[in-house]
Amino acid sequence: MAEIKIVKKVLAANDAIADMNKKYFDEKKILTINIMSSPGSGKTMLLEKTIIKLKDKYKIGVIEGDVSTTNDAERLQKLGVEVIQINTDAFGGDCHLEAEWIKDAYEQLNDTDLDILFVENVGNLVCPAEFKTGTDFNVVVLSTTEGEDKPVKYPLMFRVSQIMIINKIDLLPHLDIDKNKMEDNAKRINSEIQIFSLSAKTEEGLDQFIDWLIKQIKK
């Protein structure tokens, strides 16, 4: 089918640009983190809390992906870091970010000499997993409220991620969720995945993730 062939071509072109991004960011010694999740799992609040903890010591930039609105970008910009917004409705409402858009957005930063570049991808457990961005790490955020089965239902996302963050652990007492089962399901899909459990809201468990992040900084 022609459609599938073209999709494959698009993915191959994207991968090539992602590889170039990776090489470029490596040379500039910028740690790059691509954060993916369903809508509403708490990516932006996680980024807010992370940026607050790191911004005095490290130079941070953010590429913010959304279908519509600049709400999240505005939340992060308030913290004093530079944020470039990509609204995919300019590209037909796409449900992911492509490597080339990351490159273009990065080049729009006034100060590109960063310690950490965060990419907040479009809220979606399917499409962003198919498009490499060229970042060092893919981080998938899964809220406790989303259920234990999501890693097996959306396996590609958990296969391409090196880090999984189980967010909103403060809600566990009010949910019928077995967090161990959630972790087991993720490990079944990707035995190498490293898991952090935290609440971005209460900051319980946040420091372990921050410590891990700091260890990855290249400068």
Least Å distance between CB 9 and its own copies? 9
Least Å distance between CB 198 and its own copies? 16
Contact 31, 134 (CB under 8 A): no
Q: Is residue 3 near its own copies by the rule CB under 8 A?
A: yes
Strand runs labelled E in 108-200 = 116-120, 137-143, 163-167, 194-197
Q: CB-wise, 54 or 129, nearer to its own copies?
A: 129
Question: Tokens 């995945």 correspond to what residue?
Answer: 193
Provide the token pair at 120. Answer: 């907040």
Q: CB-wise, 4 or 27, nearer to its own copies?
A: 4
Provide the mask over 164-193, with x wherever binding to its own copies is found by CB under 8 A and - wherever it is not.
----x-xx--xxx-----------------
**What are the percentages of helix, strand and coil residues in the chain, rounded to 5?**
45, 20, 35
For residue 64, give the DSSP letter: E
> Could you say which residues in the range 87-126 bind its own copies, by CB under 8 A?
92-95, 122-126
Question: Tokens 């040379």 correspond to what residue?
Answer: 27
Provide the mask over 124-143, with x wherever binding to its own copies is found by CB under 8 A and - wherever it is not.
xxxx--x------------x
Q: Is residue 73 near its own copies by the rule CB under 8 A?
A: no
Q: Is residue 197 near its own copies by the rule CB under 8 A?
A: no
Contact 68, 89 (CB under 8 A): yes
Least Å distance between CB 7 and its own copies? 7
3-state secondary structure of 61: strand
Among 23, 29, 78, 153, binds its own copies (CB under 8 A): 153
Among 106, 154, 196, 209, binds its own copies (CB under 8 A): 154
At position 133, the amino acid (one-letter code) is T
> CA-to-CA distance for 62 and 80, rounded, in angstroms?
11
Least Å distance between CB 149 and its own copies? 6
CB neighbour class for 113 (10 Å; exposed up to 12, middle 13-18, buried from 19): exposed
Per CB under 8 A, residues contacting its own copies are 2-4, 6-7, 10, 38-40, 66-69, 71, 92-95, 122-127, 130, 143, 145-147, 149-150, 152-156, 168, 170-171, 174-176, 201
